Amino acid sequence: MVATGASAAVLNTNGLKVLAQEAAAGTPDLVAVLGGEPEVMFRKAIAELGGMGRFVKKGQKVVIKPNIGWDKTPEMGANTHPMLVKEMVKQALDAGAAEVVVFDHTCDEWRNAYKNSGIEDAVNEAGGKMMPADLETYYREVTLSEGKKLTKTKIHTAILDCDVWFNVPVLKVHRGTHMTLALKNYMGIVWDRQFFHGNDLQQCIADCATYVKRPVLNVIDAYRVMKSNGPRGLSAADAVVMKGLFASTDIVAVDTAAVKFAQRVTEKDLEAVTHIGKAMEFKLGTTDLASLQVKRISL
């Protein structure tokens, strides 16, 4: 069962007060930024978290894993915003990364999804490298010793071979899991997603997140939020510009905060997104936002 202690961290009507408490001095556990363009909000968030140099060291191989699942333009809100990805690639390289690779196991044809999402051009402009994920040969099997339904899976070699990786989903509704967030974004690093759908989707998502090489930072793009017909969307009317961004090393907390933010425009309930509670049972993080130091920034 998902803890309900986070219910005290509610949104006010204009969305400027994202969380009820403010971080004390020191590095916060979670940063919520509202009111700016994606790259500007990320700059604010990463500065509060200690800078990109806290997460990326000189000479490291870095992976940034956004959502690029759909052959949709940025206006649709189906994929992570390209300007956020571009800024993260640039900052990782500026911090001394030897290379920055970006990929997703797309649902639509990968070349079209990479191109029309705007992410391919953004990554190339920033000096990063796009990597395909359409063939099983890109994946190697790993064991998930804590998994309940998913005890082994094939994960993309970009994740397996990197030094650090960043989990960068877009916030949107999803017909199967109610919401798609940082935990759900793991489905873009594996080969056989059909197993998830046939064997308790929500549990498999939580199981997958127990893989030992976890993201050093989870950044949720809530600039343009898909409020209906997710995860693909039918038209631009399915998305609403909310200009938000959430960042944390705690994947459960960041997903919890983002669900609460999405409640301004959807009726999705934290209790319905059961993979979040299941991930907390694995001790991957907490839904009790009141127990965390949270930094709230309004631009």
Q: pLDDT digit string (tens) for 171-200?
A: 998 877 889 999 999 999 999 999 999 999
Mean pLDDT computed over 87-98: 98
- pLDDT of the residue at 174: 84
- Strand duo 239-248 + 217-226: pairing: antiparallel
* 9 pLDDT above the threshold of 90: no
* 6 pLDDT above the threshold of 70: no
How much is the pTM?
A: 0.92
CA 209 to chain centre: 12
Q: Omega into 28 within 30° of 0, i.e. cis?
A: no
Contacts by residues 46-50 (CB-CB < 8 Å, ≥ 24 positions apart)? 46/91, 46/247, 48/295, 48/297, 49/217, 49/247
Mean pLDDT computed over 256-280: 91
Pick the closest to residue 273 from 182, 199, 189, 198 (CA basis).
182
User: Phi and psi (nearest 5°) for 136?
Assistant: -65, -25
Q: Do residues 191 and 240 lie in contact, with contact meaning Cβ atoms separated by under 8 Å?
A: no
CA pseudo-torsion sign 261, 266, 267, 271: negative
* Sequence letter at residue 90: K
Residue percentage of the chain with pLDDT more than 70: 92
Torsion of CA 220, 183, 112, 193, to 10 degrees: -170
Residue percentage of the chain with pLDDT more than 90: 84
Mean pLDDT computed over 246-261: 97
How far the first Cα of the chain sits from its last, in Å, is 35
- Strand duo 217-226 + 170-174: pairing: parallel
Q: pLDDT digit string (tens) for 194-228?
A: 999 999 999 999 999 999 999 999 999 999 999 99
Residue whose pair of structure tokens reads 């960042």 in the numeric block? 247
* Sequence letter at residue 47: A
- pLDDT of the residue at 69: 97
Q: Do residues 199 and 227 lie in contact, with contact meaning Cβ atoms separated by under 8 Å?
A: no
Token pair for 205: 């998502």
Token pair for 65: 């894993």
Where residue 25 falls among pLDDT bands split at 50, 70, 90?
low
The ranges assigned to domains in the chain are 28-298
Mean pLDDT computed over 87-116: 98
* Distance, CA of 85 to CA of 82 (rounded, Å): 5
The CATH code of domain 28-298 reads 3.40.50.11440
Token pair for 156: 């993309």
What does pLDDT average to over the chain?
91
* Distance, CA of 112 to CA of 106 (rounded, Å): 10
* 37 pLDDT above the threshold of 90: yes
- pLDDT of the residue at 175: 79
- pLDDT of the residue at 21: 54
User: Phi and psi (nearest 5°) for 74?
Assistant: -55, -30
Mean pLDDT computed over 4-22: 41
User: Phi and psi (nearest 5°) for 259?
Assistant: -60, -45
Mean pLDDT computed over 16-33: 72
* 270 pLDDT above the threshold of 90: no
**Of how many residues is the chain composed?**
299
Torsion of CA 89, 160, 79, 46, to 10 degrees: -40
Q: pLDDT digit string (tens) for 108-122?
A: 999 999 999 999 999
